[in-house]
Structure 1
Amino acid sequence: MPEISTPPACRVRPATLLDEAALGELDRATWSTLHAVMPRPQPPYAPFFDDRHRPEHFLVAETQDAAGGSRPAGYLRLVAPTPLACNSHVRQIQGLAVADRARGRGVARALLRAAFAAARDEGANRMTLRVLGHNTPARALYESEGFVVEGVLPGEFFLDGRYVDDVLMGRPLAP
């Protein structure tokens, strides 16, 4: 996949095994019941990459740090939702995280647009995702990028003492 450079201070690239520590740290730092249904990670931490979460499933957004170097500011996991041939035209976002220091700077939008391009390059013509109903900022971002609500599983999760909907969203990947 070609590198995508939007916004100017952000570069999106495929993940590599060398990103393991930084992405694990980012994942733990951004954990919240706003988007996570799994319990908060506790030491000893599981590896970020494993048999089901391989580097080739992730896009990494890098921004410049104060010293002029770059470091991961966000990631997006993009996979086929099933191994079925009849479903091979679909890609699914199964995780998106942006570091607090990079929020509001277009990092998530750059990751989404890079995911659209990567999915198209793989022959996909449709993108789906699931988002928690109370995650208003994420839902607004997804809607601004062409996703629409295609289904709702009411009260699917019990988080922080309340039931939360699981919202299914999708969009076509027309060029």
Structure 2
Amino acid sequence: MSASSASPASSRPLIRPAADEDGEALGELDRLTWSPVHAVTPRPRPPYDPFFHDGNRPRGFLVAELEGRPVGYVKLARPTPLASNGHVRQIQGLVVDGTARGRGVGRALLRAAMAGARRQGASRITLRVLGHNAPARALYASEGFAVEGVLPGEFLLESGYADDVLMGRSLAPA
């Protein structure tokens, strides 16, 4: 097999469960990718809190690697502790390093999150995205997510008020 024929497979992201050891790298990734386009939290400033803590454990995360280094993650969780919506999983963060954009990392993480939600017995998946984040909204729509609600002006960011767009989809087999 020539190096050129091996290239496409090696350029695909490896998606794996997060481990405690990923905390530092994922925290750094969070800081590097922070942007007022998608962040509702304040700009990170030292001293930085640990990425993993009591309410944010590795078991809820999948990590994307390219060439052996973390270049993205997705957090999948139950939206509430209520038994009545135990069939729902929510994407509570999806991050891709700028150097890895356009290489299928976000799509691979999104698909892995949906597969993980199905394995957990979920029949529905939801997420929230800022209204002006057109690239993320387009990705979600291309994977079957539909806008299910909009909270106008829900967040006051550096750039002004931003809508909170609620999206979701069924996880039932097609």
**Fold in common (TM above 0.5):** yes
Cα distance in 2, alignment partners of residues 15 and 163 from structure 1: 34
What SS does the aligned partner of 1:138 have?
Answer: helix
Question: Which residue of structure 2 aligns with residue 111 of structure 1?
Answer: 109
- By how many angstroms is 1:8 displaced? 4.9
Structure 1: gaps spanning 5 or more residues? 1-5, 65-69
Cα distance in 2, alignment partners of residues 113 and 37 from structure 1: 24
Question: Which residue of structure 2 aligns with residue 47 of structure 1?
Answer: 50
How many residue pairs are counted as aligned between the two chains? 165
What SS does the aligned partner of 1:61 have?
Answer: strand
Contact 1:7 1:110 in 2 (8 A): no
Contact 1:7 1:106 in 2 (8 A): no
One-letter amino acid of the counterpart of residue 115, structure 1: A
Question: Which residue of structure 2 aligns with residue 86 of structure 1?
Answer: 84
One-letter amino acid of the counterpart of residue 20, structure 1: G
Could you list the per-position Cα deviations for residues 93-146 of structure 1 after superposition, in whole angstroms to 9, with x for gaps in the alignment?
A: 000000011001000000000001100000001000000000000000000000
Cα distance in 2, alignment partners of residues 158 and 20 from structure 1: 29
Coordinate RMSD, CA, aligned? 1.2
Structure whose CA Rg is larger: 2
- By how many angstroms is 1:7 displaced? 8.2
Question: Which residue of structure 2 aligns with residue 29 of structure 1?
Answer: 32
Cα distance in 2, alignment partners of residues 47 and 57 from structure 1: 16
Could you list the per-position Cα deviations for residues 32-89 of structure 1 after superposition, in whole angstroms to 9, with x for gaps in the alignment?
A: 111111101100000000111100010000001xxxxx01010000000001111110
Cα distance in 1, alignment partners of residues 29 and 13 from structure 2: 16
Question: Which residue of structure 1 aligns with residue 155 of structure 2?
Answer: 157
Moved over 6 A (4+): none
- By how many angstroms is 1:162 displaced? 1.5
Cα distance in 2, alignment partners of residues 30 and 153 from structure 1: 25
Asked if 1:19 is matched to 2:22, the reply is: yes
Question: Which residue of structure 1 aligns with residue 118 of structure 2?
Answer: 120
Question: Which residue of structure 1 aligns with residue 135 of structure 2?
Answer: 137
Cα distance in 1, alignment partners of residues 75 and 159 from structure 2: 28
Question: Which residue of structure 1 aligns with residue 61 of structure 2?
Answer: 58
Cα distance in 1, alignment partners of residues 169 and 75 from structure 2: 17
Question: Which residue of structure 2 aligns with residue 98 of structure 1?
Answer: 96
